[in-house]
Amino acid sequence: MSEKYINQKTGGWKTKTSAVVYENPWISVTHNEVITPKGTDGIYGVVHFKNTAIGVVPIDDQGNTWLVKQSRYSLDQYTWEIPEGGCPQGESPLEAAKRELEEEVGMQARTWQQLMTMHLSNSVTDEFCVVFVARELFAGTQQLEATEDIEVKKLPLQEAINMVLRGEITDAISVAALLRLAVQ
């Protein structure tokens, strides 16, 4: 008698059982009993993100950019990052990027270019990210959310890249976006 699986996945993984063990408005955590690609029993936990991650690198005509410094609860420290946020289902990534730039930095842009897409921590999450470059900047209205305690810093783009190289920026989206711009 063959064993039944609820899901056969890429690479030979098979899911025997799956149950959501935690959920909030932003994530759900699923506990899965699996058969590994080598045929052994195992478990796998997956964090599902309900929003698409969004990152924005604003660049003005003089080659300056803006970073935000904010406290990150999970790390219990402040981090420097490009403006970031979440794109809920039903909103386009570009519209979310426009909203996040104005919300966090108080700026808008006339020109938008998608820089990259990426998966974040893909061994345990399905989090997906879209990063944009915003140009032709003009003033908007900063509108911080209750969870945001943001300090905004204007600096040359090259200095932000140097902050990555010195290990002063460790946020994965920011590191990837700034280094991607460094090699263009």
Question: 101-151: per-residue pLDDT in tens?
Answer: 999 999 999 999 999 999 999 899 999 999 999 999 999 999 888 877 889
- The reported pTM is 0.90
In which band, very low, low, confident or very high, does the pLDDT at 1 lie, cut at 50, 70 and 90?
Answer: very low
The CATH number covering residue 91 comes to 3.90.79.10
Per-residue pLDDT of 39-63, as tens digits, reads: 999 999 999 999 999 999 999 999 9
Residue 163 lies in a domain: yes
Residue 4 has pLDDT above 90, yes or no: no
SS (H, E, C) the chain: CCCCCCEECHHHCEEEEEEEEEECCCEEEEEEEEECCCCCEEEEEEEEECCEEEEEEEECCCCEEEEEEEEECCCCEEEEECCEEEECCCCCHHHHHHHHHHHHHCEEEEEEEEEEEEECCCCCECCEEEEEEEEEEEECCCCCCCCCCCEEEEEEHHHHHHHHHCCCCCCHHHHHHHHHHHCC
Residue 1 lies in a domain: no
Residue-number span of the structural domain to which 107 is assigned: 52-182
